[in-house]
Every structure is written in C-alpha cells, then in structure tokens.
Chain A
Amino acid sequence: MSEILTPEEIIKKGELVFKKTKFMTDANLSYCPGCGHGVAHRITMEVIEEMGIGEQTIGVAPVGCSVLAYDFMNIDMQQAAHGRAPAVATGIKRVFPEKYVFTYQGDGDLAAIGTNETIHACNRAENIVIIFINNGIYGMTGGQMAPTTLEGMKSSTSPYGRDVSTMGHPIKITEMVAMLPGVCYATRHAVHKPGLVRKAKKAIRKAFENQRDKKGTSIVEIVSNCNSGWKMTPVDANIWLEENMLPVFPLGDIKG
C-alpha cells in the first residue's frame, strides 16, 4: 500500500501526537521570539498535566520576564516580591502541605536579589520545586549584567565585557545549593534542542515526584537564551549558548 496521503488526510486519519497543553492559557506569550521561557513554561505544565495534579498545584511567579507567568499558566498562581518566591512558596507549602508548590524564577531574581531566600529555603529542606531559568543577563530591564553573566560577556552595564577582577565570577547557584543537605535533587538542563527538551521535562517530573515523596527541595536549572539581551537572532543565540554558556554551566545532574 503506497498510497500518497495529502496532509489534510493525515490530519483526519492520523493520531494527534502533539498539541498545546490545556494548562497553558490561550493568551499570547509576552516573551520575545525564540525565548526559552515558552518551552520551560510548556514542559512544566505538561508535567503537571501528566501527573494529574493541576488542581493541587500552586505556582509562585517571580519578578522578571516571567512576571506574567500567571497569565499563561492555567493553574493557581501567586506573585512574589522580587527574589522572594522561595519564601512565599515556603509559606504556601506550610499552610497547604498536601499541595504541590513550585517557584519559577530567572537568574536576576533567584541568583541576585533572592540569593538569601533561595539558599535558606534549600537549607530548611522546604518541600518545594524551584525552576531556575538561567540566561546570564537581566532580560526584562534591558540586558544589564547579572551574577550569572559570563566572564568577558558584554551587557549594557558591562560594555567592555565582564571583568572578573572587579565584577566577580559567574555564580553557580545550583552547584552551591547542591552542597546543602536539604536539597535532594539539583540538576541543570537546556531547552534549545528537541532531545534536551525531553530531558528537561523528565527532570521537572522527577522534581515534582520528589515533592510528592516529601524528599526535600528540588532545583532544576534551565540554561536558556536571551536573544534580545544578547543582541542576536534566536538561532544565533542558541549557537552562542551552546558554545559559551554550556562550558561554564555544564548540563547534567549535580545531585540526586
């Protein structure tokens, strides 16, 4: 049988293998074209859909590009002050211990102003999931230098490149918190290639399962691009990410 089907016939006869999850709203994402936030949102919501915990999950949105995450994620959300998402998530989890609580934060939020809250929430072994999007820059405010900015990387506040003698080295939060006994799972992933998206989704699923089993804090770092902040096209930004970000922030499990 070598019949030639037209795409319309395939759509009619074939099985649906991929569609937008119902836990993402129909609102257009406010992110720049090609931004990794969209994929990170989607895989988080797909995990929640597959685990069937949509009605028991509370997300904490940060300040940063993903400040409007509550518009896109079709679950209960809470907005936190800048960097304070792990503290707010701690409160929510202690009031509703049977709910699933996760925070979704960028590097300017989690690694800069919120370092204190992040480290202490991890140290207290709060039973939450932290999803950490690391793009090495403050995206929303116009591409300023973040703690995770690479050595020599140009940003609007380091126009000659980050000089480590005066500005310090890129901070590796996931490695730092992995040392704490309260953290049960620390891992780093990326979402710029189909295979890596699948791996990142598995990691997020494992993090939520750890929360279900009351194992402690799980942190999933996702190395993402910021093509507007880096002043590149989305495709070039992904190539740059692979060549420059990944050697500094290697992918894989750090703990657990």
Chain B
Amino acid sequence: MAKVRGAIVVDTERCKGCDLCVVACPTDVIALNTQLNGKGFNPAYPANHDACTGCMSCALVCPDMCITVYRYKPQKEAV
C-alpha cells in the first residue's frame, strides 16, 4: 500500500484568495484562511494536508504562481 503523498507550500503574501485552487483540488485539501494576508485577501492554505497526493491541480490553475508542490513516493525508499 505504497501511497503517493504530497505537500504544498502556499506563498500567502502572493495569494489573492481567488478560490480556484480550492475548486480544482480533487481531494479537498485546500481551504481559504479566515486570517487576512498583507493585501487584505483570504489566502489559501492546506486545511486537510494529509489528503494531498501532490497531483499539482492547484498549482496548474493558480494564476499567481503561489503554490509549490512536493511529492513523495514511499516505494522509492525500498529500492
């Protein structure tokens, strides 16, 4: 049961809170933070980070390039 796991890093100061990544995420990882960023937007943050698979859907639709995606494949370690 080697499950691919992912993680995202959101540049909250760059984020404009457009909500597109929240809709694009197939595993409902991302939500908008109630805390505002410096520009007064509600930035995206990984609310349910354990469900992330590193599929990059959020990063592909993000117009402001705020999201960096990492992916980890457990079977790689066994080899």
Question: A residues touching B (Cβ–Cβ < 8 Å)?
Answer: 1-5, 7-11, 13-21, 24, 28-29, 31-39, 42, 191-194, 197-198, 233-235, 238
Contact = CB atoms under 8 A, between A and B. Distances in A.
A42 B67 CA distance: 13
B20 to A, nearest CB: 6
B16 A34 contact: yes
Nearest to A238: B20
Contact of A14 (B7, B18, B56): B7
A38 B63 contact: yes
B14 A24 contact: no
B31 interface: no
A17 B56 contact: yes
Given A16-B68, A234-B19, A11 B9 contact: yes
A10 B63 contact: no
9 contacts: A1-B2, A10-B6, A10-B71, A16-B70, A17-B70, A18-B68, A194-B55, A198-B60, A234-B18
Contact of B54 (A17, A28, A193): A17
Interface of B: 1-2, 5-7, 9, 14, 16-20, 23-24, 41, 46, 49-50, 52, 54-57, 59-65, 67-74, 77-78
A193 B56 CA distance: 12
A17 B61 contact: no
B68 A20 contact: yes
Contacts of B56: 17-18, 194
A28 B64 contact: yes
Nearest to B68: A19
Given A2-B1, A33-B18, 20 more contacts: A8-B7, A9-B72, A10-B5, A10-B70, A14-B73, A15-B71, A16-B69, A16-B70, A17-B54, A18-B69, A20-B65, A32-B16, A34-B18, A34-B63, A38-B63, A38-B64, A191-B61, A192-B20, A192-B61, A197-B61
Which of B1, B62, B64 has most chain A Cβ within 10 Å?
B64
Nearest to A7: B7
A28 B52 CA distance: 27
Contacts of A234: 18-20
A7 B49 contact: yes
A39 B20 CA distance: 12
A37 B63 contact: yes
Contact of B72 (A5, A28, A33, A191): A5
